[in-house]
Chains A and B, each alone.
Chain A
């Protein structure tokens, strides 16, 4: 038996490999192939993200007519001479933070309700609750604009029936801020709901049963099991939403156009206002660039220990 095997292998001629040229070897490497396959996407990102980013950096250093290099003049002008800038910083932060907190809270509560609906009816509810998120926001905001109308809007009409109002939903700075946040929460909460729902479903039932036996109340189960188990999803969703909300454009643009008195402007809408509508493109570019450090700090802060606490299960 052994002899036969040895004889057989001796009969097979050894494969002789030709020495490959350095170029052939370079293209044969797995890392090169991987790079080549990713190249179309890298090019796309280059054209659509990296080039515009550097171009706006360049623009921000020019004068209003875009003829002279002015260094950091636009930035220092915004920081020290333009009062409206600080109003925009304040209202952007207020808008992003409060909207994300409400979206996360409402998403969390609704996810729990949906999670507890028997499997049969759950699809239906999930679908219905996702509707705000799938309608293009410019369109749904238009609908909200009509709802908010102080004379003919459904909201004030309903409130008048019970003797309240009329409320200047978008006519008074405080209420306008509230309305913008409300629409953003309405639009964004379903995203949190669906993310939290997926995360809730991945928590094994046995953990809750073990907690039941250990004597945990419903609140203690949320506090000591649900929240720690969802920690990563909460962090990632919050960060993601914070960035998207901070950079929001369409809701404010449609609902208030930044008014009244520029009180509801966000970075994006204000940059648009200054750069496009007022024709000072370099200053508008500088405004939009101010978002980068603020969001970078948020990213670092939230993602700090995701890796450390990675998959613990």
Chain B
């Protein structure tokens, strides 16, 4: 059980800064997910915590001890690799017990721990098999078992599900969550998949270009993104952005998208945005579920507009519709019975209670 603290952590490759001085505090027993596009520095950060990558600057603390110069084996961590990294010439049992055998644990203790981990992961029947005789999902479980038997202070996961097919990924995601509920160990998990991040994490760390964009619970990130990057990265399909400007009409405030289209804001939003000057370059951000079909009884703050649909994607319980708004590609989420057809018109409504305004220059959510 341990806290992990990153202080001004930097990683340089030759002249390129891959991680640019990040600060992060991970609390005991917390499940933290580092998420971001490829090359954002999330895996490098994890590997620095593991001790597999040298630290170019800053500090890493595990339980208040600086571990910058501590080799991986003495950091009391366990890691699950993307390609599992199981030893191919050893059986599942030997793979899981390798670390304990090296540390000269008594045989009875090793048997007990391996048995317990195998029970948690439901791989008891596989213990005598070699990795090549296992499926992808089973290998993944063994890799997790190898981490669990060590009973480490910190679990590190490096994109553990990205080699699995979509269905198995969902299943293993749930497994990982269950395991964390059983074995409450501080966990750092790296993924590029925002759905994994949202579903698994106590807190999500969104990284981009070697810096942390935002840290928060999945709900915070979804509803209150701090930057355009986070707003676009979290959520699927991602948030729509359309250039706009603000207009005052008497005591009301409107976002004008084009000469034809302008939406009046509900009061609480108007109060929030009225201090903004009208001439700044702004983006209106709306998630697909806030662009719906027009219904009989709309909430206050929902404003109607006409859309000329390009493509529709029926998903069963909902239909995604794609259309253009003043040149910007938009995606809306409508009722499957709303009569949305490819190339047809649709009466839609924008829920401005959930709108975001973004400074187009700085990318900050206002």
Please list the residues of chain A having a beta carbon within 8 angstroms of any beta carbon in chain B.
204, 206-207, 209-216, 220, 224-225, 228-229, 231, 309, 311-313
Contacts and interface: CB of A to CB of B under 8 A. Distances in A.
Contacts of B87: 207, 210-211, 224-225, 228
A206 B139 CA distance: 15
A206 B88 contact: no
A313 B131 CA distance: 8
Main secondary structure of the interface of A (DSSP, over half): helix
B57 interface: no
Contacts of A309: 89
B73 A313 contact: no
Given A214-B98, A216-B73, A228-B87, 9 more contacts: A207-B85, A207-B87, A209-B79, A210-B87, A211-B98, A212-B71, A214-B146, A214-B150, A311-B132
19 contacts: A206-B83, A207-B85, A209-B79, A209-B85, A210-B86, A210-B87, A212-B71, A213-B52, A213-B78, A213-B99, A214-B98, A214-B102, A224-B87, A225-B87, A229-B88, A229-B89, A231-B89, A312-B132, A313-B132
Contacts of A228: 87, 89
B269 interface: no
Interface in B54-91: 71-74, 77-79, 81, 83, 85-89
A213 B79 contact: yes
Contacts of B81: 206, 209-210
A313 to B, nearest CB: 5
A209 B50 CA distance: 10
A309 B90 CA distance: 11
Contact of A213 (B50, B89, B131): B50
A116 B23 CA distance: 34
A205 to B, nearest CB: 9
Interface in B80-134: 81, 83, 85-89, 98-99, 102-103, 130-132
B51 interface: yes
In the complex, the 9 A-B pairs of residues with the closest C-beta atoms, listed nearest first: A215-B73, A214-B99, A206-B85, A228-B89, A210-B85, A312-B88, A212-B72, A313-B88, A213-B72
A229 B131 CA distance: 14
Contacts of B83: 204, 206
Contacts of A220: 102
A75 B89 CA distance: 45
Contacts of B77: 213
Contacts of A209: 50, 52, 72, 79, 81, 85
Contacts of B78: 213
B213 to A, nearest CB: 28
Nearest to B83: A206
A229 B50 CA distance: 24
A270 B230 CA distance: 81
Contacts of A214: 73, 98-99, 102, 146, 150
A312 B87 CA distance: 9
Given A212-B71, A213-B72, A216-B102, A312 B79 contact: no
Contacts of B50: 209, 213
B38 to A, nearest CB: 18
A281 to B, nearest CB: 50
